[in-house]
Amino acid sequence: MPGSDQEAARPSGAGASDGLAALLLSRIRDVPDYPKPGIVFKDITPLLADGPAFAAAVQALADGSTGVTTVAGIEARGFILAAPVAYVLGAGFVPVRKGGKLPAATHAQSYELEYGEATIEVHTDAIAPGDRVLIVDDVLATGGTAAATAELVRRAGATVTGIAVLLEIEFLRGRAKLPNLDVRAVLAV
Ligand code: AMP
């Protein structure tokens, strides 16, 4: 999990207005050296615990998306944001889980981590050809997780309408792994 050496959070070039960005950033806690030395973990639990901030974050993630049939949330914090975004958009919610967690038949996609490899899965019957899928997660870091999720959606025959994240860690250049995709970050640091 990357995130080391990043600057202090500041409102910048992302989707939220300055006032909203300041509110949301004030509710995201930096936890240095978690889960291992050198990583600055972006902890969104204070934001989730603040009703107005949570509602504003969900609305900002949903803004600008039309014609979405399905919102895919990435385990685990992506679930918490994606489910209310799906509700706001009148879309279905589909969980994208780490390997071995889903009970029925799955599509699986492996991708590179900083060290080693990870696998994510989605149920084969969760996304159908013709579906229009918005991918939601809390943090965009190196982009590997979002890119693998987009690949799972394409393999199901569906279209990725966009990738919406609460916070983008810009120096990790995750967007470079997501060419030709509409990547929208509510906040950027
Ligand atoms: P990546 O594939 O590198 O873009 O990593 C994205 C996934 O890892 C997301 O599901 C995030 O929840 C998590 N993640 C990566 N880096 C961090 C970080 N510094 N703080 C919190 N979550 C992170």
How far, in Å, is the centroid of ligand 1 from the Cα of 174? 10
Who contacts 85 (Cβ-Cβ below 8 Å, separation ≥6)? Answer: 58, 61, 62, 71, 134, 136, 164
Q: Is residue 62 domain-resident?
A: yes
For 11-33, the pLDDT digits (tens) are 444 788 999 999 999 999 999 99
Q: What is the mean pLDDT of residues 30-55?
A: 97
The pLDDT score that the predictor gives to residue 155 is: 95
The pLDDT score that the predictor gives to residue 114 is: 72
For 83-133, the pLDDT digits (tens) are 999 999 999 999 999 999 999 999 999 999 877 899 999 999 999 999 999
Ligand 1 probe mutation, 5, 139, 165, 183, most atoms within 8 A of CB: 139
How far, in Å, is the centroid of ligand 1 from the Cα of 19? 25
Residue type present at position 130 = G
| DSSP character at residue 117 | E
For 137-184, the pLDDT digits (tens) are 999 999 999 999 999 999 999 999 999 999 999 999 999 999 999 999
Dihedral sign (CA 7, 12, 15, 20)? positive
Number of domains in the chain: 1
Catalytic residue, candidates 29, 112, 114, 173: 114
Instruction: Tell me, yes or no, if 97 is annotated catalytic.
Output: no
The pLDDT score that the predictor gives to residue 116 is: 85
The pLDDT score that the predictor gives to residue 91 is: 98
Q: Is residue 57 domain-resident?
A: yes
Query: β-strands 132-140, 70-74: how paired?
Result: parallel
Instruction: Tell me, yes or no, if 29 is annotated catalytic.
Output: no
Q: How confident is the model at residue 2 (pLDDT cuts 50, 70, 90)?
A: low
The enclosing domain of 102 has a CATH number of 3.40.50.2020
Give the residues surrounding ligand 1 with Cβ less than 6 Å away: 1-3, 39-42, 74, 77-78, 137-146, 174
Task: Report whether pLDDT(10) > 80.
Answer: no
Cα–Cα distance, 166 to 107 (Å, whole number): 26
Q: Is residue 35 domain-resident?
A: yes
Residue type present at position 47 = L
Cα–Cα distance, 27 to 9 (Å, whole number): 11
Q: Is residue 1 domain-resident?
A: no
Task: Report whether pLDDT(58) > 90.
Answer: yes
The pLDDT score that the predictor gives to residue 141 is: 96
The pLDDT score that the predictor gives to residue 1 is: 63
How far, in Å, is the centroid of ligand 1 from the Cα of 149? 13
| Domain extent at residue 147 | 6-188
How far, in Å, is the centroid of ligand 1 from the Cα of 45? 14
Catalytic residue, candidates 27, 77, 97, 184: 77
Q: Is residue 46 domain-resident?
A: yes
Can you tell me which atom of ligand 1 is nearest the CA of 172?
3
